[in-house]
């Protein structure tokens, strides 16, 4: 009944849908917990909540990426704020806790990301991610992979973990990995993202560094140095 009242289409994990209510389009938050927190989680499922005529997830009052714009009629009369966004809805990604690295983290954590105009979500069953959550609940993720018995982190398209810019580490400590540049396999790198704050985390990784990964310990230490 809740979903019918909100007038949205739910696609994805029905088990997760039964456990968690649909995000309120007017006050949803980026994550289910506040940080600072850093943990490794296993992908547990994804749910899509699509917009309708009465629901616009990108236009809620706390979404920094979709500011309202005052619109005026031809005669100059102010018609009120209008949200302009090509997002088609909201994507909720849930992780099952594997290891806490910093902060207090429950057994299950979900993060919210705006869906793009093509309404395509990303599923990554069985894959693990390093998840960083800031005090204001903004977040970022990096996939954790094993190469020859060593653990590495694949940064997202911004090259940041929360408010920690990892891009300066890539030239000297990054390891070239062709799979990191696989746009289909690594679709989460561009599709799973929070609205980043202005500054170094709003810039993409340079193209010549995009196929590099970092030792997991390097990324973890960089986070802990900024969030002791």
Written in H, E and C, the secondary structure of 10-52 is: EEECHHHHHHCCCCCCCCCCCECCCCCEEEEEEEEEEEEEECC
Burial of residue 72 (number of CB atoms within 10 Å: 0-12, 13-18, 19+): exposed
Q: Is residue 144 part of a domain?
A: yes
Q: Is residue 209 part of a domain?
A: yes
Quote the longest CA-to-CA distance of the chain: 68
Q: Quick check: is 126 in a domain?
A: yes
Q: What is the pLDDT along the chain (228 residues), one digit of tens a residue?
A: 333 333 333 334 434 444 578 888 888 899 999 999 999 999 999 998 887 777 778 777 543 444 444 444 455 554 445 666 777 888 999 999 999 999 999 999 999 988 877 788 899 999 999 999 999 999 999 999 999 999 999 999 999 998 999 999 999 999 999 998 888 889 999 889 886 666 778 889 999 999 999 999 999 999 999 998
Question: Does any domain span residue 37?
Answer: yes
The predicted model scores a pTM of: 0.81
Structural domain boundaries, residue 28: 2-68+79-226
Q: Quick count: other Cβ atoms within 10 Å of Cβ 120?
A: 12
Burial of 160 (0-12, 13-18, 19+ CB in 10 A): buried
Q: Does a structural domain hold residue 74?
A: no
Does some domain include residue 6? yes
What is the three-class DSSP state of 79? strand
Q: Structurally, how many domains does the chain consist of?
A: 1
Residue 73 falls inside a structural domain: no
* Nearby residues of 84 by Cβ (< 8 Å), 6 or more positions away: 66, 69
38 within some domain: yes
- Which residues face 61 on adjacent strands? none
């Amino acid at each position: 009944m809740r979903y019918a009242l909100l007038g949205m289409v739910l696609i994805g994990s029905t088990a997760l849908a039964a456990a968690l209510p649909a995000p309120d389009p007017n006050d949803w938050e980026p994550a289910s917990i506040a940080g600072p927190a850093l943990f490794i989680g296993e992908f547990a499922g994804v749910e899509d909540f699509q917009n309708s005529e009465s629901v616009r997830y990108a236009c809620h009052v706390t979404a920094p990426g979709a500011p309202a714009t005052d619109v005026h009629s031809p005669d100059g009369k102010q018609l009120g704020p209008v949200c302009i966004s090509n997002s088609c809805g909201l994507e909720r990604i849930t992780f099952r806790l594997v290891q806490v690295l910093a902060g207090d983290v429950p057994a299950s954590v979900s993060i919210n990301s705006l869906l793009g105009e093509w309404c395509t979500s990303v599923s990554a069953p069985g894959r693990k991610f390093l998840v960083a959550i800031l005090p204001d609940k903004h977040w970022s993720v990096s996939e954790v992979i094993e190469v020859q018995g060593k653990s590495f982190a694949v940064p997202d398209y911004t090259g940041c973990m929360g408010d920690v810019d990892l891009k300066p580490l890539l030239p000297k400590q990054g390891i070239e990995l062709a799979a990191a540049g696989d746009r289909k396999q690594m679709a989460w790198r561009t599709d799973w993202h929070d609205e980043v704050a202005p500054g170094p985390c709003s810039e993409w990784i340079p193209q010549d560094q995009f196929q590099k990964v970092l030792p997991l310990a390097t990324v973890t230490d960089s986070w802990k140095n900024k969030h002791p």
